[in-house]
Amino acid sequence: MFFVAKEAVKKIKLQIPAGKATPAPPVGTVLGPAGINLQDFCTKYNDATRDKMGDILPVEISVYDDRSFDFVIKTPPTSFLLKKYAKINKGAVKGSKETVATISEAQLKEIAEIKLPDLNAYDVDSAMKIVAGTAKNMGIKIEGQE
């Protein structure tokens, strides 16, 4: 007896606020044509992300030929986390030439630990360097670093 693994016919990537997916656009306009039951997706997504309310979470949805689906929730974008910790609405217009906020080394480490599963890094120190690079490009300084 063989079990055939379902083959994904479509992969869809979206960024949706945690716990706030609705069948309205943008979710509905992207998932509707894929033949997914929108209410079913929204309910499952909202239940899975309720504890992260207020964050914007990237989600990767695999749609199968029988119209079933599953999804993987990623960690929030690095820029979103940096803005949240620095308590700012947007990064610098001139990038690294302008400083709009400062975060502590501890906050940098916290962000790196959150992002570690999705980053191309093996340890927190490597992840911190990646996050620090993003912070620099957004005009966010890290205390104790030049």
3-class DSSP string for 82-102: HHHHHCCCCCCCCHHHCCCEE
Task: Burial-class residue 13 by CB neighbours within 10 Å (0-12, 13-18, 19+).
Answer: exposed
pLDDT digit string, tens, across residues 29-74:
888 888 888 889 889 999 998 888 888 889 998 888 888 889 999 8
Question: Residue 22's CB: how many other CB atoms inside 10 A?
Answer: 14
pLDDT digit string, tens, across residues 75-106:
888 988 999 999 998 888 887 788 888 899 99
* Model pLDDT, residue 3: 57
Class of domain 8-73: alpha beta
Count how many Cα atoms sit within 13 Å of the Cα of residue 83 in the half-sphere of its side chain. 14
**Average of per-residue pLDDT across 99-128:** 90
CA dist., res. 115 & res. 64, Å (int) = 28
3-class DSSP string for 50-87: HHHCCCEEEEEEEEECCCCEEEEECCCCHHHHHHHHHC
The CATH number of 78-142, from 3.50.50.60, 3.30.390.30, 3.30.930.10, 1.10.10.250, is 1.10.10.250
> Domain segments of the chain: what residues?
8-73, 78-142
Rounded to two decimals, the pTM is 0.75
